[in-house]
Amino acid sequence: MQPQSEIRLTPQRQVILEELAKVKTHPTANEVYDMVRKRLPRIGLGTVYRNLELMADNGMILKLEVGGSQKRFDAITNLHYHIRCTCCGKVDDIELTAMPHLDQLASDSSDYQVVGHHIEFSGICATCGEAQEKAITN
């Protein structure tokens, strides 16, 4: 997971990194595109995808392949876990100490070369929960 090679920090990549670091959410590629476009209106969608992928390979950012149909990206790269709202798809960090030893257990009980793991909780976020209650009482 080390940087495989230095990549050139083009203006586009700089802006993508900055915008990603600016938010505490875990935006999808499209959301990153929208954020970046405010500063670089002529940037192409392909460039955003290409560079998010590139920077994830490089270890500069984290690619979250969580449930749902979209990949999400995170500027915080240390091991931590997430919770996803089954209702609106939002992804938040969850405060739970990392359990890196799980990798060893998995390695022992399978014939895979284990490289990592991810825990994803699912639930209903506060906003969606309230919306549901209102819908019922009405």
Partner DNA sequence: GATGGGAATGATACACATTCTCAACCATTA
Partner DNA sequence: TAATGGTTGAGAATGTGTATCATTCCCATC
- 133 near a second copy (CB under 8 A): no
Q: Are 19 and 35 in contact (CB under 8 A)?
A: yes
Which parts of 89-108 interact with a second copy (CB under 8 A)? 92, 94-96, 102-103, 105-107
Q: Of the ranges 6-14, 16-24, 34-42, 59-67, which one interacts with a second copy (CB under 8 A)? A: 59-67
Closest CA relative to residue 33, chosen from 57, 8, 50 = 50
Q: Are 19 and 32 in contact (CB under 8 A)?
A: yes
Nearer Cβ to a second copy (126/135):
126
DSSP H or E run through 47: helix 45-57
Q: Of the ranges 9-17, 23-31, 37-45, 65-73, which one interacts with a second copy (CB under 8 A)? A: 65-73
For CA atoms 92, 97, 101, 105, the dihedral sign is: negative
Q: Report the distance separating Cα 24 and Cα 37, nearest Å.
A: 19
Residue 101 C-beta: closest distance to a second copy, Å: 11
- 10 near DNA (CB under 7 A): yes
Q: Binding residues for DNA, per CB under 7 A?
A: 7-8, 10-13, 28-30, 40, 42-47, 49-51, 53, 69-71
